[in-house]
Amino acid sequence: MTPREGSKEAKLRNSLYLIGNLRIPLTQNEVIRIRLIGYEIPIGIRGRRIDLIGYDTEKNPCIIELKAATSPEKISQIINQIEGYAQQLPLLLSSIENEFNTKFFLNLNLTRNIRRIILAPREYFSKQERNDYLNVKDIFVCSIGLIRKNNLMISDNLDKYETITLTVLNKCILPSIVAPTKSAEPVLNSNQA
């Protein structure tokens, strides 16, 4: 998928997806590692798509909603958006697992404990009210800044990295479980997993 000219969110999404691995340090000894497995996953609501989807080492699915530094959306809007995605994702999980089993010969048995992550550059959060995201529960609110490699600032060449580390900005409480709302399971095509 080639991002349209000037789409910083799409460029960030594509770079992160190609890297494929994220780290979320919670404490010095506790780190959540996420393997990204898909992007722009349609959820069946008028063109709505999950920016990135992955799973952690405990096989918990992870929804990642990206925002560019220039996004005009407020944190409350993004929270509503990602909560809606979390309600729809259980309807897709069996299809995602089946796709991995048949195409990649990988027995991917995901839990139904859905982790939700809002990810934006630090500049985005500098324009938000800190109280709007500091006490958000059950959603990781994370930033990604410029990345240093050999004392050079890298922002557009994320594809040289094996893992990107995120900074948690709120006090997320674990675990969070989102129950399915319907029983139908949409079928994914080969471009969606």
Of 167, 170, 65, 70, the C-alpha closest to 124 is 70
Concatenating the DSSP letter of every residue in 114-175 gives -EEEEEEEHHHHHTS-HHHHHT--SEEEEEE--EEETTEEESS-GGG-S-EE-EE-S---S-
Confidence of residue 174 (pLDDT cuts 50, 70, 90): low
| Whether residue 18 has pLDDT greater than 90 | no
pLDDT per position as a tens digit, 82-128: 999 999 999 889 999 998 889 888 888 999 999 999 998 888 888 88
The residues with which 32 forms a beta bridge, in sequence order, are 24
In 5-59, DSSP assigns E strands to 21-25, 31-42, 49-56
| Whether residue 189 has pLDDT greater than 60 | no
pLDDT per position as a tens digit, 34-85: 999 999 988 877 778 999 999 999 999 999 999 988 899 999 999 999 999 9
Question: Regarding predicted confidence, which is higher, 163 or 153?
Answer: 163
- Between the ranges 87-91, 132-136, 149-153, 158-162, where is the mean pLDDT highest? 87-91
**Helix (H, G, I), strand (E, B), or coil: what is residue 122?**
helix
What's the CA gap between 181 and 167, in Å, rounded? Answer: 31
**Residues 6 or more apart in contact with residue 134 via CB below 8 angstroms:** 169, 170, 171
